[in-house]
Structure 1
Amino acid sequence: MIYRGAGWVTLLTPLAMVLLLTWLWPDPSVKPGNTSLMQLLMGLGIGSAINVVLGFVLNRELHPDGVRHHFFFIPMQWPALLIMLACTVIALLK
């Protein structure tokens, strides 16, 4: 498997945030049903920031059953941090 424990949340939360931002605050500069680059980056960045905090909280203690929360065999906070930093860099360069 590519995830262990709650590692699947690493992909689910950013995608859910993009959909939530698109639904709650549609961008008037794009056609209905589409999203702008800034909305996409904000959704992915906010969702990944949530996952970074969640990953640090969930992986803080050693669980009795030995399950750690991983995504691609890496603790889930580190891929989420990379996604968040990539979104920040792209937003700053744009």
Structure 2
Amino acid sequence: MVIYRGAGFLTLFTPIAALLLLMWLWPDPSVDHGNTSLRQLLFGFAIGAFINVLLGTFLNHGARAPGEPARHHFFYMPMQWPSLAIVVVCAVWGAIRVN
């Protein structure tokens, strides 16, 4: 049993890749080398997940027959919906925790 189909694996890969790219290009001067702050973590995950929302919406557009699953899914949901949940969680957590 596979938990993703098509490009659904990008639901987890894109936010992690965006965070690592952000850490490499713009390291946070307030933390030790190789570490990251909560602000940078949430920002990197939110950027990567937002890219994935756009990508999932583009890849899964078009009509499907009733009962036919999405071509690109993660845990049997179209890949843009779990990514949108990641963006919302990062925004809420950032609003509550980051000063």
TM range, smaller chain: over 0.9
Q: Which residue of 1 aligns with 2:95?
A: 92
Equivalent residue for 1:82, pick from 77, 85, 90 = 85
Unaligned runs of 5+ in 2: none
Query: What does residue range 1-94 of structure 1 map to in structure 2 within 5 Å?
Result: 1-62=2-63, 68-94=71-97
Q: TM-score if structure 1 supplies the norm length?
A: 0.93
Letter of the 1:6 partner, please give it.
A
Over the matched positions of the two proteins, sequence identity in percent amounts to 59
Which 4+ stretches in 1 moved above 3 angstroms? none
Aligned length: 92
Separation in structure 1 between the aligned mates of residue 27 and residue 44 of structure 2, nearest angstrom: 12
Aligned-residue CA RMSD (Å) = 1.4
Q: Is the 8 A contact 2:70 2:77 kept in 1?
A: no
Stretches of structure 1 lacking an aligned partner (at least 5 in a row): none
Over 3 Å counting, the alpha-carbon distance change for 1:79 and 1:67 in structure 2 is closer
- Alpha-carbon contact 1:62-1:68 (below 8 Å) kept: no
Answer yes or no: is the 8 Å Cα contact 2:60–2:70 preserved in 1.
no
TM-aligned CA deviation for residue 61 of structure 1: 2.0
